[in-house]
Amino acid sequence: MTRVKRGTISMKHRRNVLKDAKGYRFGRSTKEKEAKVAIRKAGVNAFAHRRDKKNDFRRLWNIKIGASLAEFELSYSKFIGMLKKKNIGLNRKMLAELAENNPEVYAQVVSQAKA
């Protein structure tokens, strides 16, 4: 059987792994084994945090809505309850956007929910 030399393929694989780990600190950027572990862990965290980002933004929207309702003497939970009873189908992202950028339109939405 003929001899197969695999140096070029293994070096290509090593180069690609270390390229992905560029900028990591300590041995993670220079040692192939540590770099593989760091890259895998980074991928897991990136996947999880893409989902966490959705929760973070929803929390931010709730805070913006609650803060803007102080001038109308309403709490966040009562306002959301009123919206649901009146079947006003604005989501929290849009409500927060209106509260921040279009206060007069937001005031109309609040008055409609109160009525």
Q: The CATH number of the domain where 74 resides is what?
A: 1.10.1900.20
Contact call for residues 93 and 57 (beta carbons, < 8 A): yes
pLDDT exceeds cutoff 90 at 62: yes
Is 75 domain-assigned? yes
pLDDT band for position 4 (cuts 50, 70, 90): confident
- Give residue 93's pLDDT: 96
Is 99 domain-assigned? yes
Contact call for residues 35 and 18 (beta carbons, < 8 A): yes
Is 51 domain-assigned? yes
Report the number of distinct structural domains present in the chain.
1
Is 24 domain-assigned? yes
Contact call for residues 83 and 113 (beta carbons, < 8 A): yes
Is 41 domain-assigned? yes
SS3 state of residue 27: helix
